[in-house]
Structure 1
């Protein structure tokens, strides 16, 4: 009985082995007609589509192979999001979650999915990912995953990372935003200022970063923010060589708490901290509370990001606002837009809240 059935549908195998052509042969219609029943039902009458689906079900045909359909259409219906951090970070960090939300909003609108490609996957997943293009949230100099993306010849956008010839870019002016934060503190009379930095290189090192370490920074964003802090502090006569820069690794509130506690326990503790992100600033706020140092009366703190927790902290966090969600939206819109290279740079603004005040005695 099985052999007879195979002959009747042109030699195909039941179940997964059956092809669209087998169903077409059984119904004496074209393969395009059967394909339309699955992919373009508006091209058929309801009666014909019902008859095709019923025959396919009787034969055990489970529908077109999605991989084969991808190659025939030259479109997958998904984009790849390549980023520098573990998958758990992308799902939990407040600023990163806003960026990913912006990507998701556009993807939902246009009906495509997102393939997450986090740190630690090397180039293999980038090479074999079935996607129509890539958003690369990568800011490490010479990231080989971005090289691999460019080598695939698919549309791509780099977010926050170094500019590359021939590839679109979305970001902010990190240097200008950081300079604004530093000028805010010197304008309040602070001159004994320290910096809490996110990692400068992907080597897991934590602690004080001397000038040589700073100059060898591989993370584009952190390098730009340090340059901005330096420029802003110079306007108040603060020598950069006198500014402690402490790397917080692994990145997050816990490492910032430890770094800030160490700074605040010193003989000449700073009267102000520039934190390279809100998460680092929130860690510093906790350290100040534990050390019995009041904010902002004895210590001013400025963050960077203006993620939702900044407004809910106690006191509210003075920070540099950047439009994370808009960056995510813009990245996807550039990806699906014209093929010519485009660059979008969003402005930053300083949001002053309760974590900063004039230096005591100034």
Structure 2
């Protein structure tokens, strides 16, 4: 390339005597070129320090960036420590690798987007878990891009779910049948039951509704099984655990153990919470997740 000539798409094409579309295809549509021509173009670009067509420029022309936003219901730091979320992200990454597209991890706090609007770069969104702030979903809708929800349903958008109500109903029913106690005193340790972001016994008026929260669906499954067995479950016996801190779970378990009527059935909505309960030295008779 001529001295002081900036390595741009247009300049590279001029130096190699090909069209700008050919240079762009070398990076974005390799199947459109012969292997020999593509290798020659990429080698020359590497020599002159050209990294390929600008994403911003391409997005203005095509309306696509090749990146898809993954909206996480927890903070990024919490999500990356969650083994289930890690498996979920790994599975998505495997598909993205095959399709040669990129993943854009996005937190569920709308304040993150007020300054840089980074979410607008995404070609579409996968929303993993019900966002605690409904403004997130409203913001995504306004972009008129594909949206897929996971572990919750939202309007008419495609969603990926299991029957959480039936699953927890069966779990609770099994636990009740296996219990040897004449009177069962249950406690439920749940996740994301309310918009309040702290650990507390629940306030029924603040609960998510079953249509917007898988945790609420799980709670209703537990409640149905307990009601059928004539076992009382008070609001004081249902706890939201936020975040997954061992110290907080230990404090709750101590309260359970010191209660007038010791708990003999502990229903956990997460393997992680159940493991923390075991590690805390809980003397609860039965624990089920």
| Equivalent of residue 265 in structure 2, options 259, 272, 278 | 272
1:21-170 maps to which residues of 2 (within 5 A)? Answer: 21-26=10-15, 29-40=18-29, 43=33, 46=36, 50=40, 54=44, 63-122=52-111, 124=113, 128-140=119-131, 143-165=134-156, 167-170=157-160
Change (3 A) 1:195 1:114: same
Partner of 2:161: 171
Within the alignment, does 1:214 sit opposite 2:204 as a pair?
A: yes
CA contact (8 A) 2:110 2:136 kept: no
Partner of 1:313: none
Note the C-alpha offset of 1:135. Answer: 0.3
Runs of 4+ in 1 over 6 A off after TM superposition: none
For residues 30-83 of structure 1, the C-alpha deviation after alignment (integer angstroms, 9 at most, x for no partner) is 33344345444552583697379649956x755422321333344322211001
CA contact (8 A) 1:79 1:132 kept: yes
CA contact (8 A) 1:127 1:149 kept: no
For residues 279-331 of structure 1, the C-alpha deviation after alignment (integer angstroms, 9 at most, x for no partner) is 111222123x2x6x3xxxx610011xxxxxxxxxxxxxxxxxxxxxxxxxxxx
CA contact (8 A) 2:165 2:219 kept: yes
For residues 142-189 of structure 1, the C-alpha deviation after alignment (integer angstroms, 9 at most, x for no partner) is 621112112111111011123312x11111221111111211122124
Note the residue ranges of structure 2 that are not aligned, 5 or more in a row: none
CA contact (8 A) 1:160 1:170 kept: yes
Note the C-alpha offset of 1:224. Answer: 1.4
Note the C-alpha offset of 1:114. Answer: 0.9
**Does 179-188 or 229-238 show the bigger shift?**
179-188
Note the C-alpha offset of 1:86. Answer: 1.4
Partner of 1:261: 254
Partner of 1:336: none
State the superposition RMSD in angstroms.
3.1
Note the residue ranges of structure 1 that are not aligned, 5 or more in a row: 7-12, 304-362
Q: TM-score, normalised by structure 1?
A: 0.67
User: What is the SS of the residue equivalent to 1:85?
Assistant: coil
CA contact (8 A) 2:189 2:266 kept: yes
| Equivalent of residue 203 in structure 1, options 181, 192, 196 | 196
Give the number of aligned pairs.
280
Aligned partners of 1:100, 1:268: CA distance in 2, in Å?
42
Note the C-alpha offset of 1:117. Answer: 0.4
Change (3 A) 1:71 1:183: same
**Does 125-134 or 146-155 show the bigger shift?**
125-134
Aligned partners of 2:216, 2:46: CA distance in 1, in Å?
60
Aligned partners of 1:231, 1:251: CA distance in 2, in Å?
26
User: What is the SS of the residue equivalent to 1:185?
Assistant: helix
Q: Which has the larger radius of gyration?
A: 1
Aligned partners of 1:111, 1:136: CA distance in 2, in Å?
20
User: What is the SS of the residue equivalent to 2:121?
Assistant: coil
Partner of 2:171: 181
Aligned partners of 1:103, 1:254: CA distance in 2, in Å?
32
Q: TM-score, normalised by structure 2?
A: 0.82
